[in-house]
Amino acid sequence: MVDRRMPAKREAILAAATAVFLREGYARASVDTIAAKADVSKRTVYSHFADKEALFLAVVNTAHNELFGTASVDIADLLCRPDRVDHDIRLIGRRVLDYLLEPEVAALRRLIIAEVAHHPGIGAACRHGVPHQIAQWMAGRLGELAAAGALSVDDPVRAAHQFMSLLVANGLSESLYGTSALDETQAAAIVDDAADIFLRAYRRR
């Protein structure tokens, strides 16, 4: 018989772990504290997650997947029309900055950066975050636009990741890794610079 309480317990553990990791940091957070906050036994935590690193990765992946679920709806209709490429690229860029600097996700990213030298396994959580997921989606649309003659893109995956890299590098730098909110002027400048570089490189002459 399937224990129908297990998904609820897993969700409770993830919620508790998120709160504890954000409050205490990765190194100081203990599985005992997480179990107590989730109102489950330590054994129950380990029945769902092999160790603290696996639990942390699950927390980060859950946050990323929930945010990408929102992003998928927000950007679903973009990069479909050749006559709107300039507009849509900039709108995607603005959305990416919002997702990148969402407070909880930004805080988890700072934890990863602080701990990755000591726990290399958690580094993958940054590489496969929302910008990476959007780039994978964007590559498909770029390929379609190239086939329609709107762009000159030989490698859509590379082009999409280049665009994301410009946004991520400048967004994190200007926001001090999400600790200082960007005003509209800063955000617009980051997006415009990334879009202009992308379009100069890939707009069909």
Helices (H), 75-122: 85-100, 103-115
d(CA 22, CA 40): 20
DSSP β-bridge partners for residue 151:
203
What's this model's pTM, rounded to 2 decimal places?
0.85
C-alpha closest to that of 129 among 93, 162, 101: 101
Distance CA 162, CA 183 (A): 24
The domain ranges of the chain are: 1-49, 59-202
Fold designation for 1-49: Arc Repressor Mutant, subunit A (1.10.10)
How far is residue 191's CA from residue 69's CA, in Å, rounded to a whole number?
22
% of the chain at pLDDT higher than 90: 76
Class of domain 59-202: mainly alpha
Per-residue pLDDT tens over the stretch 8-57? 899 999 999 999 999 999 989 999 999 999 999 999 999 999 999 999 99
Contacts of 108 (CB under 8 A, 6+ apart): 21, 22, 59, 60, 63, 125
> Which residue in the block uniquely carries the two structure tokens 């897993």?
10
Q: What is the pLDDT of residue 64?
A: 87
> Would you say residue 4 has pLDDT above 50?
no
Q: What is the DSSP letter of 129?
A: S
pLDDT in tens, 135-161: 999 999 999 999 999 999 999 999 999
pLDDT for 126? 72
